Chain A
Amino acid sequence: MATLRGIPQGEWIEFSRLKAILQATDGNLGSHIATLEGAGYIAVNKDFVGKKPRTRVALTRSGRKAFAQHIEFLRTILDAAASRHNDQEGTS
């Protein structure tokens, strides 16, 4: 998801390219993509370039939103920890 988020919105990336970036295997990446597609977080497009099959994936709007919420959640944890740390320093 983070890798797909690094690609400009509305752009697709080829499966083979994504596999090379992630250094993943076909099976592993395929399984992740199927799960994320099932959740509606990514879209998969299969077509042909000439006679060669091509699979491309892109983050959907809801996937982008869900991932942004996940990042926000992680930041909330850090903010809460920082706030607790500041409170402890204030009382000591």
Chain B
Amino acid sequence: MMLSPQDAAGALRDIEAAQARSAKLHGCARSSPQLLLWGVLWVIGYGLQYLFPAHAGVIWGAIVPIGLIAGFAALRGAGHEVGWRYGAVALTLVAFFAAVFLVLWPINPRQQAALIPLGVAAAYVIAGIWRGPRYVTTGIAVAALTLAGFFLLKQHFFLWMAGVGGASLILAGIWLKRA
């Protein structure tokens, strides 16, 4: 059977659309468990920081490695390819925030606690420029909630981040899962 140029052009358009759609949805499926995981960890981490503000270093020193290992395990368990890039991304983020804190030092715990979610929010907005509006919305929501808590709820900022920040990540994870 001979295909006409119109048929060939139509088939190529369909292929491109199908590939783009599956890449986008696969990305959502990949990100969703990570958001759910970090949402829960934010609830625990910021909740503990609210209760024991003097032990923030110990709390996050435990939470971050747990999150990275659990995130790795979640991706592997779901059959996603997780190579050196996962470690490289984690290392880059840790190095970036360490450098930022070093440059801005002395920095108080509230500022530290606000900077990391703002960085994560920016990463989501940037990812969303390629991957779709759900990532952009998630990033903007996290940034807006972080700033609102930082400026309006000075005494209860950690509690706000535990409840509203963590919940927003969990909701975003569910939202991406349903994409």
Least distance between A46 CB and chain B CB atoms (Å): 12
When C-beta atoms are compared, the residue in chain B nearest to A74 turns out to be: B8
Give chain A's interface residue range (CB within 8 Å of chain B): 20 to 34
Contact across chains for B81 and A11 when beta carbons are under 8 A apart: yes
Cβ–Cβ contact A7 & B14, under 8 A: no
Q: Which of A4, A13, A80 contacts B79 (CB 8 A)?
A: A13
B15–A77 CB distance below 8 A? no
* Cα(A49)–Cα(B73), bound, Å: 13
Q: Which residues of A contact B14 (CB under 8 A)?
A: 2
Decide if the interface of chain B is mainly helix, strand, loop or mixed. helix
**Which secondary structure characterizes the binding site on chain A?**
helix
Contact of A21 among B4, B12, B25 (CB under 8 A): B25
CA distance A7 to B78 in the complex (A): 14
Determine if B79 and A12 form an interchain contact, defined as CB atoms under 8 angstroms apart.
yes
- CB pair A78–B5 under 8 Å, yes or no, is yes
B-side contacts of A8, CB under 8 Å: 26, 81
Given contacts A14-B79, A74-B3, contact A7 B26 (CB under 8 A): yes
Contact of A3 among B4, B5, B8, B18 (CB under 8 A): B18
Interface residues of A in 44-92 (CB under 8 A from B): 49, 56, 71, 74-75, 77-78, 80-81
Q: Does A5 contact B (CB under 8 A)?
A: yes
Determine if A38 is an interface residue (Cβ-Cβ < 8 Å): no
Q: Is the CB of A7 within 8 A of B23?
A: yes
Cβ-defined contact, A17 with B29, below 8 A: yes
| B3 near A77: Cβ-Cβ < 8 Å | yes
A residues with CB within 8 A of B: 2-14, 17, 21, 49, 56, 71, 74-75, 77-78, 80-81
Enumerate the 6 nearest inter-chain pairs by beta-carbon distance, A residue then B residue, closest first.
A6-B22, A81-B5, A2-B18, A6-B19, A12-B79, A6-B23
